[in-house]
Amino acid sequence: MATTVKGPAIFLAQFAGDQAPFDTLDNICRWAAGLGYKGVQIPTWVSSFIDLEKAANSKTYADEIKGIVNSHGLEITELSTHLQGQLVAVHPAYDTAFDGFAPASVHGNPKARQEWAVQTMMNAAKASKNLGLNAHATFSGSLAWPYIYPWPQRPAGLVEEAFDELARRWTPILNAFDEAGVDVCYEIHPGEDLHDGVSYEMFLDRVKNHPRANLLYDPSHFVLQQLDYLDYIDIYKDRIKAFHVKDAEFNPTGRQGVYGGFQSWVNRAGRFRSIGDGQVDFPAIFAKMAANDFKGWAVLEWECALKHPEDGAREGAELIQSYIIRVTEKAFDDFASGGTDQAANRKMLGLS
């Protein structure tokens, strides 16, 4: 059965700031509603928007957060723990870079940082339940990513051990989300061990096809990898529980391709663009989402190497609204129905 995708909604992470209207949840929701958005995805590391631990332990506080959002005619689509989820699994090569995602008290202490990340994910499960949500957006983290290209040759069993460990770390978290009735939606993303369909399946096998180990679909990352992002929807339609609407373009030259030659985003062959400015076929995506009975939200994630974010947000609300297909309740050829019954059907088949 086809379903009308909910939206438009917007991920608030790229807009959060110190100045109004981006400084508080109340102000940014008023701004988003004024652009025509109907939902917001809340980044839980932005303390001026939400206290995640408090939302996990106080239904009253969770109701207050929900009330702020609802007062502007908006709904919370999902909470996001992209930064904290990343810290569930960090290769030592990235320790210094990723310390910035965690409190200063655990900097320089990978074990304490990882324990903090796991507890934060547990809080996210409880907070999502208290807010009445059924999906959650996050990253998987990565242990094997530095070995993505096999040179020198990878030792036998290296990747398998990395994925075994990733599954060990995530299984208790997935169980906590299951108890909360919330799907964990991994954004499949370069830099994560779960960066394409095959790597997701490697993980899924190790968590024994856990019912909560699901997907956040974002086509922009597949354009940059040159993966068929439409076929992906059909393959994983039963696991796609969240949706980021983000555009990208890939224009290889004789000088650079997928890896980008260490260039800035502006100068890369593959780069993120504001929706409508890149190469993603969004009408085809929204058609598949509707046909595949996707019941979630279409959430703008604005990232662009060129356009101003406020312009991208304004245009994004209008474009997503235009992409959403209000599904029909009757077949287009019902007008020509002959009103036949079983006896008539058998007669037409020569069976009477």
Residue 107 forms part of a structural domain? yes
Q: What is the DSSP string of 178-231?
A: HHHT-EEEEE--TTSS--SHHHHHHHHHHTTS-TTEEEEE-THHHHHHT--HHH
Q: What is the DSSP string of 61-102?
A: HHHHHHHHHHTTT-EEEEEEEHHHHHTTSB-GGGHHHHHTTS
Question: What is the reported pLDDT for 334?
Answer: 61
Structure tokens belonging to residue 11: 């991920």
**What's at 290, amino acid-wise?**
A
Looking up residue 27, the CATH number of its domain turns out to be 3.20.20.150
Question: What is the reported pLDDT for 337?
Answer: 67
Report how far residue 92's alpha carbon sits from residue 154's, in angstroms, rounded to the nearest whole number: 17
Domain count, the chain: 1
Count of all residues that appear for the chain in the document: 352
**What's at 115, amino acid-wise?**
E
Residue 63 forms part of a structural domain? yes
Question: What is the reported pLDDT for 2?
Answer: 86
Phi-psi region of 90 (alpha: psi -120 to 50; beta: other; left: phi over 0): beta
Instruction: Tell me the pLDDT tens digit for each residue of 284-299.
Output: 999 999 999 999 999 9
Question: What is the reported pLDDT for 333?
Answer: 60
Report how far residue 142's alpha carbon sits from residue 166's, in angstroms, rounded to the nearest whole number: 8
**What's at 336, amino acid-wise?**
A
Considering just the CA atoms, what is the radius of gyration of the chain in Å? 22
Report, as ranges of residue numbers, the positions in the chain whose pLDDT lies below 70.
331-338
Q: Report how far apart the first and last C-alpha atoms of the chain are (Å, whole number).
A: 32
Report how far residue 137's alpha carbon sits from residue 125's, in angstroms, rounded to the nearest whole number: 11
Report how far residue 296's alpha carbon sits from residue 153's, in angstroms, rounded to the nearest whole number: 42
Residue 89: which domain range? 6-348
Q: What is the largest distance, in Å, between two alpha-carbon atoms of the chain?
A: 81
Residue 1 forms part of a structural domain? no
Q: If you search the block for the tokens 């009477």, which residue do you land on?
A: 352
Question: What is the reported pLDDT for 345?
Answer: 87
Helix (H) or strand (E) holding 12: none
Instruction: Tell me the pLDDT tens digit for each residue of 112-167.
Output: 999 999 999 999 999 999 999 999 999 999 999 999 999 999 999 999 999 999 99
CA atoms within 13 A on the CB side of 84: 24
Question: What is the reported pLDDT for 290?
Answer: 96
Long-range Cβ pairs for the range 98-106 (8 Å, 24+) = 101/45
Q: If you search the block for the tokens 């702020």, which residue do you land on?
A: 68
Q: Beta strand pairing status for 39-43 and 6-11?
A: parallel
Long-range Cβ pairs for the range 16-23 (8 Å, 24+) = 16/43, 16/46, 16/48, 16/49, 23/48
Question: What is the reported pLDDT for 344?
Answer: 84
Whether residue 140 contacts residue 196, with contact meaning beta carbons closer than 8 Å, is answered with no
Helix (H) or strand (E) holding 126: helix 110-130
Question: What is the reported pLDDT for 343?
Answer: 87
| 116 strand-pairing partners | none
Closest CA to 190 of 224, 153, 216: 224
Residue 222 forms part of a structural domain? yes
Q: What is the DSSP string of 233-264?
A: HHHSTTTEEEEEE-EEEE---SS--TTGGG--
